[in-house]
Amino acid sequence: MKYKMLDASLYISNRKNFMSQMEHGTLAVFNSNDIFPTGADSTLPFQQHRDILFLSGIDQEESILVLFPNASNPRQREVLFLKETSELIAIWEGEKLDKKRALEVSGISSVHWLQDFPTIFKQMMSEAKGVYINTNEHLRAKTEVETREDRFIKKMKADYPAHQVHKSAPILHRLRSVKHPIEIEAMQKACDITKAGINRLLNFIKPGVWEHQIEAELAHEFLMNSSRGFAYTPIVASGKNACVLHYVENNKECFDGDVILLDVGAEYANYASDLTRCIPVNGKFTPRQKEVYNAVLHVKTEAEKLLVPGTLMAEYHKQVGLLMEEQLVNLNLITMDDIKNQNPAWPAYKKYFMHGTSHFIGLDTHDVGIWHEPIKAGMVFTCEPGIYIPDENLGIRLEDDLVVQEKGEPINLMSTIPLIAEEIEEKMNS
């Protein structure tokens, strides 16, 4: 691992909270992700399933976690199964977790090798009346491949058809949405690494650089600071490219007079950061570019004040829409008549601001959470309003990561990253 392992107390707490919400006499199973092939003998870098990571800290392929809080055998209440390591595996693949190290990472004392799973699981299921399965219920999920979790669920249902089936997702979505202080610390580290990348760019960007060169500068800085790299596919969009919301080609030259929209973020210890900044290629915004920039900044500043406990996200997004509506009128992009005659299902402001303002962030960039329940302290959201004007070759979006507080406005984990237009200009020209 490039990162320092997080304290095992986090995972002990997470398991305790999860098990407290399980029905009596049930167990829960969590599987690692697959290692995905690309062709021949090549594979993609392994990315651990976020749920087993949240509950154990185990960042290793082929691992299985079973939780059975009411098991008669105390050694079967928290059980971790790992791929058995050996000297040969260490030579070919590198060091894997042994049982002692797994205990240190997870706080789980009952650790077995993977080959023991069928026998031990059968013993546990003979006592359990039901099982929690872990399906991907993220609202944006569009998974077509059959995952390791999917295969396990299919086999488990065939082998144990009489057992009651329960869902882990509702419990996990609530637990994962409210961050532990250790998680906040890891996210702050990810944001600090992102800051280092942005500071590097402010002295690098100039007319004639290419989008992919900017991406390379960020990658260098992230890796130098113990990040695995980007938390998500980076967007480096200059000029009109900034009006493509998920532009990821990053293959165009940056020209004098253009503004670059950077939607980038480093990860640290599997926790994501998510930042958007807009930077003038020549180090100076035009009056019109600054006018649009400041309009977006105003919406962002006012929207952040709404991220307080008790707020419903649906109402929040309506309020942000009204804020944006006012700014677009001031920019002469829409008129009061447009608003008067708008389709309520697609308000007039959506022509220039067509996406949402905030999403949960944590172990995933678009983290899990319960969207129809009020905001709670400890939740972390992005705030990312934008205005996109293709006819002006201009797209402006500004984004920070914010921790909701018990009282008052949220804490901005990116508060030290240049945001004000004049500050960006000053740093680029110093």
pLDDT bracket for residue 14 (50, 70, 90) = very high
pLDDT bracket for residue 300 (50, 70, 90) = very high
Choosing from 120, 152, 176, the residue where a domain stops is 176
State the pTM of this model: 0.96
Q: What are the strands of the beta sheet with 110-113, ordered from one edge? A: 110-113, 78-82, 64-67, 26-31, 130-133, 164-167
Query: What is the span of the domain harbouring residue 342?
Result: 181-428
Indicate if 200 and 165 belong to the same structural domain.
Answer: no
Indicate if 127 and 222 belong to the same structural domain.
Answer: no
Choosing from 132, 150, 176, the residue where a domain stops is 176
pLDDT bracket for residue 1 (50, 70, 90) = low
Indicate if 186 and 226 belong to the same structural domain.
Answer: yes
How many domains are there within the chain? 2
Choosing from 176, 196, 213, the residue where a domain stops is 176
- For 387-412, the pLDDT digits (tens) are 999 999 999 999 999 999 999 999 99
- For 82-109, the pLDDT digits (tens) are 998 877 777 787 788 999 999 999 999 9
Residues with Cβ within 8 Å of residue 202, at least 6 apart in sequence: 279, 418, 424, 427, 428
Structural domain contains residue 50? yes
CA-to-CA distance for 142 and 138, rounded, in angstroms?
Answer: 9
* Backbone CA torsion sign across 4, 9, 10, 12: positive
Type of residue found at 274: D
CATH code assigned at 52: 3.40.350.10
Element (H, E) at 104: helix 99-106
Written as one string, the DSSP assignment of 125-185 is HHH-SEEEE-----TT----SPPHHHHHHHHHHHH-TTSEEEESHHHHHHHHHB--HHHHH
- For 143-173, the pLDDT digits (tens) are 889 999 999 999 999 999 999 999 999 999 9
Indicate if 53 and 108 belong to the same structural domain.
Answer: yes
Structural domain contains residue 1? no
Indicate if 240 and 384 belong to the same structural domain.
Answer: yes
- For 188-247, the pLDDT digits (tens) are 999 999 999 999 999 999 999 999 999 999 999 999 999 999 999 999 999 999 999 999
Indicate if 325 and 398 belong to the same structural domain.
Answer: yes
CATH code assigned at 385: 3.90.230.10
Structural domain contains residue 412? yes
pLDDT value at residue 26: 98
User: pLDDT at residue 427 above 90?
Assistant: yes
Indicate if 201 and 57 belong to the same structural domain.
Answer: no
Taking Cα atoms as reference points, which of 56, 59, 29 lies closest to residue 45?
59
DSSP conformational letter for 109:
-
Mean pLDDT of the chain: 96
Contact 361, 380 (CB under 8 A): yes
Indicate if 319 and 349 belong to the same structural domain.
Answer: yes
Residue 8 main-chain phi, psi, to 5 deg:
-60, -20
